[in-house]
Structure 1
């Protein structure tokens, strides 16, 4: 099978005996430079940056990558023929023979993205601002994908919840609100992303099946956090450093109501059945409860100083709130309002059947508390600036953002043990999943 490329670059794929594969020098210079580098690009394999002596670069409106570096990262044996000045690749009895470099740079062969896509046949290649991203091709359904919003990176990444491999990235040219994005929600069927940005006054709706922008919804204020109702009919977005929350109809993609909740409106959180919406007010030091049928405030609960994140247990109708201003969490139900001390600047909070998880952004720790007697079981260092906490749809795993170290920790929801981590391209702010009330 043959493919033709510009500048007479040709790539031939041949399936032959390994004995026919000749050995050449390994890291000797592959030729003399005939070009100067243009705009440089970073390259990532999933979340890991691939670094070499010679960077990928743009030249004459085309992108070029180091052949040896990328091929070896993909598991190929690389052979340079100094006589023909061509490159052969070998992996699992599969040969890519007689690759002609487009040009040389620092003694290394450079090839175009067209050539890269030929020998990276099991990878998706995506170019974003200043970077070339390679992801493993995945057939996992949309309902089995998780997402992380990366504000500083102006992007949202998607990962396979079974393998935790990063499989896609969407930037702010595709999702406008990904620019300095802060809030992220996924529709219950996993087909749409709702993204809010701290520098935009609109919510982006991204169709994941078509991988295209469906709508940009103006809400009349700079946005902050966002939630989608488990019934999929409404989305709720809070005002940045304000006092309001807007309700968006997902059928029409229009704001149908704006509710004034109090000073310092911060985070929305829905009960599992979607009937109640809880909203923290950091200045008023309280949480309001909104009936999602009438969109009216029906209750207000006092909290500690500067309440931030929320978790709610539908079975016991108990509310859990982090108070960033005084290093506590509030545990609230109809009969009691209890305060428990945790770490410095508690931020994210999540609950499992037996445990309460609290991310303390100010002292790099995670506090585990018994739901039964509210005793602190353990406080452990997990990394710089831990933030949002999310629970997997099946309740078995806890995802903790460690923003200062560009990673997401995955914990066992029963034991609190760290099982794995997802390393990110940029600082991640929040992990989100499809969730419904079925």
Structure 2
């Protein structure tokens, strides 16, 4: 249990605000996957594209006073399946964002797309609309495994989608999942080998888990046991390392120069404004950090955003919670974090967690020097145990749902 020898101030103090990102949530899918616990809804009939973009713009407008004078470093359009929207809708959205919030030079703009909505002309249209990076939800290149997890595309379609994305964009991420029903170690490595052979410069490899409120949780399929899943994880890390990918975050691997800048901002406890149905946000001010969440149901969000009531929940993060929220993200990074970043992003002295850092170091879960703190290999593979060192009962009770899971055995895809 966390304990601090340093009295916490009543409010944090920030000399400089963190980088700012924008997350945009588009909540519809062709079909709800049985493992998915994100805020996604099966498409029924025509989507209200124009009305939803209107709502996103209204939501952004209402949020402008909170981000006045700041620039966007990254934008991420996630879902759901954003590629269900036409390029013209994405262009209208991004134009509206650019005219209201200035972008940093060469800001990264990522959009998620699924092979089941793949068209080469559509991918080019998103590029022309201002998207600079595509993230393809492949999950597997094996037809049997894709069918077992309820995906709407096949292996051949997944390959064509990745090839088309790579022909259109300089940076492409391929999402893969392992420990799938009936999957062998060789099958997991075959998926990774296929992504590497296609030339994907960024690969995300997530452990399939049975999340609450999903079909798989109610009717569990037979999954590989924990030992086999751990073998898959280690083998995937070794294979991608041998292929020249940097393992820079728990589930993320990139060729040099292709790290996901948007996600790195999350993991370094940067700020992000979240708009769209169910979107979460985290914003820093000079003396506090605020979390907020939008209306989850698409109909309620549409009505609320246009009426100026899109935000369903808003509260400040207490100084007692800030150290854990920072470490929960920053210790996912293989390289860890600079000591100075803790104070810069929490507004608190790092002495507030010194006792717990020292205990984690004694137990071989972290290493550190005067400039940096980073998880050891043991700490990376037992990340949940490491992070629990910084979570006391009061913090656990008050903790806000966050964008990234903390259990190394349940590496689900971040919903933001």
Q: Shared topology, TM-score over 0.5?
A: no
Q: Which of the pair has more CA radius of gyration?
A: 1
Structure-1-length-normalised TM-score: 0.28
> Looking at both structures, which has the greater relative contact order when contacts are Cα pairs under 8 Å and sequence separation is at least 6?
2
Q: Which has the larger share of strand?
A: 1
